[in-house]
Structure 1
Amino acid sequence: MLNTIEYTVTAIVCLISAIVIQRIFSKERLRQADPKGVEGIKWFGLAIFVWGLGALVNLILVSGFKWTPTNKVLIYFGVLISLANSLFIILSLPSIEHQKKPGILVRLAQRFSIREFVSLFCGVLGMIAFVFVASSYGNEEISNNFIWLIDIPISILVAISLLFELNKAFVARQMKFMYLPTFVLFILIVIAVTHRIIPQDKALQFIDQKFWSVLGSITAISFKFLFILLFSILLYSWKFLSEKEQQQSLAQQLTLENEQLKKTIEQFELANESHLDTIKNLKVEVKDLRQTAKVELSDRQKEVLGYLAHYGKDKSYTEIAQEMHISTDGLQTHIHQIKKILNISGAGGKEQLIEFAKTHDFLQYFQSGEDA
């Protein structure tokens, strides 16, 4: 009766949990979440699923086909389910994120690819299992508890690794209060393993048979429930932190884009000011050009500017007057009139006239002495 209850409860809870976890896995994969975390969800779901599958098969064989729980085929199947569960738990351990150094079992799983590790796990334990099955099948003198020796070392090793990895993860998430549940999980696994390996006739020398059976069923169910609970808490804390990190990343990205936008606006403002200055200067130049275009000079004044453009600062006004065969006073009169027309005053008037003459190509009005 206790076995039937154990199988029924385990099958219902584990299979429903596996379906829920599978849906979470599908959603997280579509959301393109952290691949490492998503893979961990997958293996965690498979570990729960094989528990439920094993319990369902046992329930069908025990209740439907009236097999006894001590049937060696059922024991072999139970060992297979337990080994598969251990394999999936090991594969899920690397996804448990923390800042500390991972355990030996985790580093071993990370050293190989998933296919290589599964092949290695199945190959080594397959050979060991073959030896155990070959030596125990058909041999009534060998206790069924002997067969569980295949799984016991692996289960203990996985339980220890799970204890340390969960504690490291909960510390990283500032959830030290989860130390106690993880330790209780470890104790329950040890009790369940001990219940499997100790022969019942030996245990009954010290403990009542009913209590021994109840203890086995309760620990078998309890550690599975606690395992699901702890991993669910870890899963949702990971999901919460992942979403929080995404929000922080989005906020940082928006802040960065905002700063870049501000810089771009500043650059546009500087460019706009530069363009405004350029436009202002162009307006001034256009104004000057218009004023220059309105300047009307006589032929003689143009000739004076031509001589200035040609000789520049090399000759004085007197020398230029001689070259033009006019008096110095006459040249000065022309210079004065040109300055008045061009609105040139103050010191440096000659330099301004020379620059104006060269800029506006008055050199064409220069006539050398030979031409004259």
Structure 2
Amino acid sequence: MLDTSPAAGGSDAASELVVDLRAVKQNYLSLQQRLGKSECAAAVKADAYGTGADKVAPALFEAGCRTFFVATVDEAIALRKILPSARIAVLNGLLPGTEQVIPEHDLIPVINDLEQVSRIREMCVAAGRALPAMLHIDTGMNRLGLSPDEMDRVAEDPDLLTGPDWLYAISHLASGDDPGNPENAAQLARFADQRRRLKRPLRASLANSAGIFLGLDYHLDLARPGFALYGGRVEDGKPSPMEPVVRLRARILQVRTVLAGDSIGYGGTYKVTKDARIATVAVGYADGYLRCLSGKGAAYIGDQRFPVVGRVSMDMLAVDVSHADPTEVYPGGYIELLGAHYTVNDAADDAGTIGYEILTALGHRYTRRYIEAASGES
């Protein structure tokens, strides 16, 4: 368990984001165990979902992960410097102008349309070898991937795919976090049908984090979890089976007594009904703590919950600590805003969004601390 005492870590930071690398590795190992013989890759796009790819990706590699997915070429190049021997796939595909850097950095483009197919074939001719690539087939997201019409053309002329070393055919579930949605089975069936039309056996990847929990049929050869690695839920509205990874704590700047009838913060949106003690905390929306958590978020000292009151401002928010032990609430002390008690999933529910947004919004004003030992050692 992470130490939640105000003095934990001994930092002089105004706010601190703690990332538990042990929990990241344990989440990966749990997913790999569930997948059995299928390979478990890792999505580390968006700076490992806001947790810091420079620290998280090596931890995942240490846990056994060898295939990583990012969104952009820039992310891939940065990751290559950290993981020289990993397989790194670029989900956004082979965009014009990236023809040189893809082979230079030994990257794997995820090919999303026939124009990109043509470009990777030309690159293979220029390189004099079969460059690695993955073929993305759209099965219902209508976002990226070869369309049904493009797959018809491939079925009619299989030579369109000659040249590259196709590592996987991939697709993406649109509703994996809703296991009762019939679209999941429909996408699985479409994917199988389209793969059969390729006239060549390709290993396959469909499951994201949620897809891993849909069952063996969805595991195929490779799964690509992201959110679950960072403690995210895998089924909408259900508790997460994964270990929490991040803890956000911030300094109390001031504690004051507010009299009954007084309002707090911008717009006076919250008025106390009786005398209260209010702690002003050094975190705001400029730090990635969403403004829509105004009057909805929660904070913890130890196991005791306290409500966020009034509007979240740029650099500060207010917490009603009327029922706290005065010896535990003081200027300079820490209060926890995200953690095991109030997870990114809980914050997402209160904000009316998804945990992905909570995680990726976490800014870089926080002092970041990475821990691995269960005792909380750095």
TM-score range normalised by the length of the shorter chain:
under 0.3
- Normalised by the size of structure 1, how large is the TM-score? 0.21
Structure in which a larger fraction of residues adopt helix:
1
Larger Rg: 1
